[in-house]
């Protein structure tokens, strides 16, 4: 047995040695830290060395890609299956405390309520020092996971309301147009299969052909619905005013809907810098309507470079634009306002966490604004 530090030398691994000469010491350090405190059989190490030697022959790979492929090879042995007790021990080694929730309760939660990989995803919201998390208790991860569940439920309702309102508007505007219900779908599918970016698959186009617009309204995906709206309102621009308001927000709605439909975590990473350029309409709306002018526009823009914040608030704005039902909007925003009380229940957990505090502040202020204008 030996530590998983490959014997990289010109004589033993000539191709690998050349690659390691090209990559930075920081990359080598990251790679080797993955192997600290673990021992593996020599035969496993030798097999991986052989694979890496072959991989290293392809000098077209960038050093970043090589690093990723290197670590993928080690993942099965770097991340072995752990028992619930071993999961708790691993968290302790990473600096997670068990004060607000003791180890027995933590094991019970991991056994009956969620799984390790999903719960620990929320650790990205906390800073590290010397490879250990600062001020992170297991209870904080549990609290964020529960808040995430509630936000996900409300986000799904919001996206469903937007989708319903969009279908209602499209079919209403179609009824007022001279279009034939079957012909327009055939034209749409032929047009869409010819699009260079994200075209409709031929099999899917065939499924929709020879059906009417009112038949497919309940069967098409949200992405297909936006494509159909694009096609229809390009032909009938006079009726496209409301649709144009939310067209720039379509990506926010689709991505949020996809996340909640697949039960993905929403608030597991609230750090900024995930988007290069947030939607201008969302930035402008928040700056003009939701915040004191002491808060500079560039600060709002910076917060909106987080994917979840951007998509969630963009969807709230889209609901305001597209839905004609004041009652629907009122109830959606009222439920979010009630949820904000749950968000703040354990605010003492995050007193020192600037990332989480700013996120919750921004969302709550935005929800309060939308609630007020919907009354």
pLDDT value of position 37: 46
For residues 332-353, average pLDDT = 94
Residue in the block written with tokens 């492929």: 69
d(CA 198, CA 372): 39
Instruction: State the Cα–Cα distance between residues 35 and 308, nearest whole angstrom.
Output: 33
Q: What is the DSSP code (8-state) at residue 97? A: B
Residue 92, pLDDT above cutoff 80: yes
Per-residue model confidence (pLDDT) at position 5: 43
Compute the average pLDDT of residues 202-214. 88
Does residue 3 surpass a pLDDT of 50? Answer: no
Per-residue DSSP letters for 329-360?
HHHHHHHHHHHHHHHTTTGGGGTT-HHHHHHH
| Structure confidence by residue, pLDDT tens digits, 229-268 | 999 999 898 888 889 989 999 999 999 999 999 999 999 9
pLDDT score of 23: 56
1 pLDDT higher than 50: no
Mean pLDDT computed over 123-138 = 92
Q: Average pLDDT, stretch 298-312?
A: 95
What sign has the CA pseudo-torsion 112, 118, 120, 125? negative
State the Cα–Cα distance between residues 260 and 263, nearest whole angstrom.
5
pLDDT interval class at 195 (50, 70, 90)? low
pLDDT in tens, 16-39: 555 555 556 666 666 566 554 444
pLDDT at 2: 35
Ordered by start, the domain boundaries in the chain are 2-78, 85-144, 145-177+240-374, 180-235
């Amino acid at each position: 047995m030996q530590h998983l530090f490959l014997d990289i030398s010109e004589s033993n691994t000539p191709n690998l040695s050349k690659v390691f000469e090209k990559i930075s010491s920081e990359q080598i350090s990251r790679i080797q830290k993955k192997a600290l405190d673990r021992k593996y059989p020599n035969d496993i190490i030798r097999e991986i060395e052989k694979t890496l030697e072959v991989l290293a022959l392809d000098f077209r790979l960038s050093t970043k890609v090589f690093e990723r492929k290197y670590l993928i090879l080690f993942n099965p042995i770097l991340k072995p299956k752990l028992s619930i007790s071993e999961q708790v021990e691993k968290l302790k080694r990473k600096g997670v405390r068990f004060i607000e929730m003791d180890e027995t309760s933590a094991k019970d939660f991991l056994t009956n309520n969620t799984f390790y990989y999903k719960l620990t995803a929320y650790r990205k919201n906390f800073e590290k020092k010397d490879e250990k998390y600062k001020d992170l208790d297991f209870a904080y991860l549990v609290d964020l996971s529960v808040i995430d569940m509630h936000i996900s439920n409300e986000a799904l309702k919001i996206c469903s309301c937007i989708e319903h309102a969009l279908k209602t508007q499209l079919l209403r505007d179609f009824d007022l147009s001279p279009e034939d219900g079957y012909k327009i779908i055939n034209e749409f599918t032929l047009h869409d299969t010819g699009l260079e970016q994200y075209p409709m698959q031929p099999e899917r186009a065939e499924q929709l052909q020879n059906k009417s617009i009112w038949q497919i309204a309940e069967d098409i995906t949200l992405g297909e619905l936006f494509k159909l709206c694009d096609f229809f309102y390009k032909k009938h621009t006079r009726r496209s005013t409301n649709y144009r308001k939310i067209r720039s927000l379509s990506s926010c709605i689709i991505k949020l809907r996809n996340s909640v439909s697949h039960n993905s975590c929403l608030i597991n990473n609230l750090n900024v810098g995930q988007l290069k350029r947030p939607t201008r309409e969302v930035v402008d709306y928040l700056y003009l309507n939701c915040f004191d002018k002491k808060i500079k526009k560039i600060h709002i823009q910076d917060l909106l470079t987080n994917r979840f914040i951007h998509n969630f608030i963009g969807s709230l704005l889209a609901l305001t634009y597209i839905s004609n039902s004041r009652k629907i909007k009122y109830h959606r925003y009222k439920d979010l306002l009630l949820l904000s009380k749950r968000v703040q229940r354990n605010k003492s957990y995050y007193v020192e966490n600037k990332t989480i505090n700013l996120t919750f502040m921004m969302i709550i202020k935005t929800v309060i604004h939308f609630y007020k204008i919907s009354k």
